[in-house]
């Protein structure tokens, strides 16, 4: 197993904007991604969501990251063999060692150009140091009203996630 890369202390790193780690991935969906009816497996889409989300988190933190949670995923429209799947991912929120990344998934029919919003998912990643322990990540510098809106919405989602697992924002536990 490869050793984790060394890096500077996160407090020595300047804050980063969401724009700096913004990532778009496009994949054409193939028969191996789908069932015998031509519908792409939800698991194939989830794998791509985690892949693009981890790229965003890695670009922001510049250290190893792991997926800590995946919020609910609803599939609004089917994705078919031959569709181009576009995954637009950006960082929404940063806490001390964790980051929320949002991924918008769209399917495009390459012949007609029709684009369908097929789902949105929020994932939480944690930065890891060389010993595979949580490590601080750079702060997020909010530039636009959209950045501020996403931050506020992500902050509320974080509070909800913590309530669901019986933890307070300060890290202490609450009775379930």
4 pLDDT band, cuts 50/70/90, is very low
Is residue 170 assigned to a domain?
no
Q: What is the pLDDT of residue 72?
A: 87
* CATH number of the domain that residue 134 is part of: 3.10.129.10
Is residue 171 assigned to a domain?
no
Is residue 4 assigned to a domain?
no
Strand partners, 122: 102
Is residue 3 assigned to a domain?
no
Q: Looking at the predicted structure, is the pLDDT value of residue 169 above 80?
A: no
Is residue 97 assigned to a domain?
yes
Structure tokens at 169: 């924002």
Q: Are 82 and 110 in contact (CB under 8 A)?
A: yes
Is residue 131 assigned to a domain?
yes
92-141: pLDDT as tens digits: 999 999 999 999 999 999 999 999 999 999 999 999 999 999 999 999 99
> 3-class SS at 96?
coil
> How many domains would you assign to the chain?
1
Is residue 176 assigned to a domain?
no
Range of the domain at 59: 11-164
34-64: pLDDT as tens digits: 999 999 999 999 999 999 999 999 999 999 9
Is residue 5 assigned to a domain?
no
Q: Are 158 and 34 in contact (CB under 8 A)?
A: no
First to last CA, the chain: 38
């Amino acid at each position: 197993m490869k050793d984790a890369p060394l890096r500077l202390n996160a407090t020595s790193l300047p804050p980063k904007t969401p724009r700096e780690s913004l990532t778009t991935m496009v994949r054409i969906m193939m028969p191996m991604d789908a069932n015998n009816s031509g519908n792409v497996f939800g698991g194939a889409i989830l794998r791509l969501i985690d892949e693009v989300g981890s790229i965003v988190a890695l670009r922001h933190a510049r250290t190893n990251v792991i997926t800590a949670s995946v919020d609910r995923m609803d599939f609004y429209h089917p994705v078919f063999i031959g569709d181009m799947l576009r995954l637009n991912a950006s960082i929404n929120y940063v806490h001390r060692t964790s980051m929320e990344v949002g991924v918008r998934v769209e399917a495009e029919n390459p012949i007609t150009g029709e684009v369908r919003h097929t789902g949105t998912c929020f994932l939480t990643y944690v930065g890891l140091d060389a010993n595979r322990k949580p490590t601080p990540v750079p702060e997020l510098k909010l530039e636009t009203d959209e950045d501020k809106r996403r931050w506020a919405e992500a902050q509320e989602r974080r509070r909800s996630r913590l309530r669901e697992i019986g933890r307070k924002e300060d890290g202490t536990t609450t009775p379930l």
